[in-house]
Amino acid sequence: MKQTVQKLLLNSFFLLVITACNAKDSDSNPNKIASIPEASGISYCQNSNTLVVADDAGIYYEINPQGAILTQHKLGKYDLEGVVCKEKAFIFAVEGGSILKVSRATSEIKELKIRGANAPKIGKKHGIEGIAKIGSDYYLTIQSKKKKEKAIFIVVKLGANYAKVKEVIEHGIIDSSGMEWRNNKLYIVSDKKDKLYIYDLKQKKILKKIKLPKFAQEGITFDNQGNVFLADDDGAVMKYTLKELGL
């Protein structure tokens, strides 16, 4: 009887070890630097050398470039889909059609509904998926899953008490899920296509398409050291060098 119990305990121990090893192997991607549930947007903060990461549950995280979580805050029932880091505030894009201005010092929130005579219908099927700041304006990309659906940016002027649509631009990128302004070009990721598009706003055309590793790309940003960070909606932050991605 004693030997049987010992044998069962030993088998259970080996099963736990195997399970742990398998879990470790499944999470062994060298490009993964942080685990963040439903990471949906990311932005590099120049003044603090940190990254702010938004998720679908209304939580944002500030992490260092190595992936350590420094702080996290729950904003409320917001489906955050993108973020821009400014010196004193985070600007979040909310899927349902609003922008949140959040103080970096106090986490105080101001929600601005997106308005305008030419504003497109924004909802669950055609929600906001990404945001980038270009000059004094904000460009937001609207979800489109099929070629027959118009794939567009909306250009928004943000004031103290308003978010007004100035222009609508058709870009033609299916399922554009995150973007960043860099070197006078828009870098746009598509989750459905697993691609990074380099887009010229003046010419209004795609200059280059880059195949990305297969995962749920939902946001992109760049630091000052030649690194590219991608938010993975499956629960991670990924880090690559420009060279690794062919940039």
- 243 vs 122: which has the higher pLDDT: 243
pLDDT for position 123: 72
CA 19 distance to own-chain centroid: 31
Rounded CA separation 51/49 (Å): 7
Nearest Cα neighbor of 237 from 22, 53, 1 is 53
In the block, tokens 């380099």 appear at 198
State yes or no: pLDDT of 19 exceeds 80. Answer: no
Predicted confidence (pLDDT) per residue in 5-15, tens digit: 344 343 444 33
Encoding tokens for residue 67?
């992936």
pLDDT for position 146: 66
Q: What is the mean pLDDT of the chain?
A: 87
> Under CATH, domain 34-241 is a member of which superfamily?
TolB, C-terminal domain (2.120.10.30)
| Average pLDDT estimate for 144-153 | 71
Cα 211-214-218 angle, rounded to 5 deg? 90
In the block, tokens 């549950």 appear at 57
Predicted confidence (pLDDT) per residue in 79-134, tens digit: 999 999 999 999 999 999 999 999 999 999 999 999 998 887 887 677 899 999 99
pLDDT for position 145: 67
Residue-wise DSSP of 151-174: -EEEEEEE-SS-EEEEEEEE---T
CA-CA-CA-CA torsion sign (221, 225, 226, 229): negative
Predicted confidence (pLDDT) per residue in 162-200, tens digit: 999 999 999 989 889 999 999 999 999 998 889 999 999
* DSSP 8-state secondary structure symbol assigned to residue 185: E
Cα 194 to Cα 59, 90, 214, 232, 242: the distances in Å are 25, 27, 6, 11, 17
Residue-wise DSSP of 87-134: SSEEEEEETTTEEEEEETTT--EEEEEEE-TTPPP-SSTT-EEEEEEE
In the block, tokens 């070197």 appear at 183
- Edge to edge, the sheet with strand 217-222 lists 32-34, 236-241, 227-232, 217-222
Instruction: Give SS3 for 29.
Output: coil
